[in-house]
Every structure is written in structure tokens, then in C-alpha cells.
Amino acid sequence: MPLSAKWFLVYYTFLGLLLVLNGGYFILRNKGIKSWISGIVRRKKPPVLIIRILKYLALFTLPGLVLSFFPFSWIELIFCIWSLIILYIAGIQLVRWEQIRVLIQKNRESISNTIRKVGAIMLSVGFAIFLLAYSVVERATG
């Protein structure tokens, strides 16, 4: 199994596991996430936890981008580009933190539904990433 296949297998497995577990947590423990969000919107600076998550996602996506060329794989390249787009979109939201926190404070009643939707999206993306891990195993062994 080439190094890139091993990298993506480990990356997909851990990322899929994190998304499924956190998505389930978002759906089941909605009130805890809502109280955390209520706490961070009072601060002027963007949440450090989200910045760290984005930083680590970038640290794992960039080597994946390089490894998607050795041997070349469209699936891994598209996944890495998708991940970079997600990073960009989330980063833009942190840059606009002043406006975002005002919007969150104004729409407190819809936070619970939004958290549930985000959790459902995380679950579905996590399972899709598990399918990518499976495809890596199939390509490497077949």
C-alpha cells in the first residue's frame, strides 16, 4: 500500500469518526452547545477552539493535497480542494466575527434548530468520508 493510501486511510478514518461523534453530540446535547455559543458571542474575539480546529484541519489537508498527486487520485484531490474551500468559508466567518456574533445574538431562538442541522450535516459528511476510506482500501487491495 503506497504512503498516500495509508495517509488518506488514516485521515479519512479519524476525520469521519470525529464528524460522526461530534454530529451525534450536536444532535443529542443541543443545550450544551447552545450555552457554549451563548458564551462565546459575548466576547469580541473569535472563539479560539474554532481557530484551532481550522488550523489542524489545514495542517492535515495540505499534506493530503500534495500526496493526492503521488500516485495521482482525482478523489483525494477533489476531497482536499473541498476541504480547503470549507476552511476558507469558515475562516471568512471568523474574519467577520463582529457581524456574525450580532446575528447570533439577534436569532437566539433559532440556534437550537441550526445546531441540529449542523449535527445532521456532520453525521452525513462523516459517513461519506467513511465511504472514501473504504474506497481507498478497495483501490489499494484491488
Q: Which of 124, 70, 130 is nearest to 138 (CA)?
A: 130
Query: pLDDT (tens digit, 9 = 90+) per residue, 45-104?
Result: 999 999 999 999 999 999 999 999 988 889 999 999 999 999 999 999 999 999 999 999
pLDDT for position 28: 93
Structural domain containing residue 18: 3-141
pLDDT for position 8: 92
28/1: higher pLDDT: 28
Count of domains forming the chain = 1
Q: At residue 1, does pLDDT exceed 90?
A: no
Query: pLDDT (tens digit, 9 = 90+) per residue, 19-39?
Result: 999 999 999 999 999 999 989
Query: What interhelical angle do 74-95 and 111-141 show, nearest 10?
Result: 160
Question: What is the reported pTM?
Answer: 0.86
Residue written as grid cell 480542494? 81
Cell numbers standing for residue 26: 450536536
**pLDDT interval class at 18 (50, 70, 90):** very high
pLDDT for position 3: 86
Sign of CA dihedral 29, 121, 81, 98: negative
pLDDT for position 93: 93
3-class SS letters over 22-88: HHHHHHHCHHHHHHHHHHHCCCCCCCHHHHHHHHHHHHHHHHHHHHCECCECHHHHHHHHHHHHHHH
Peptide bond into 71 cis (omega under 30): yes
φ, ψ dihedrals at 107, nearest 5°: -115, 45
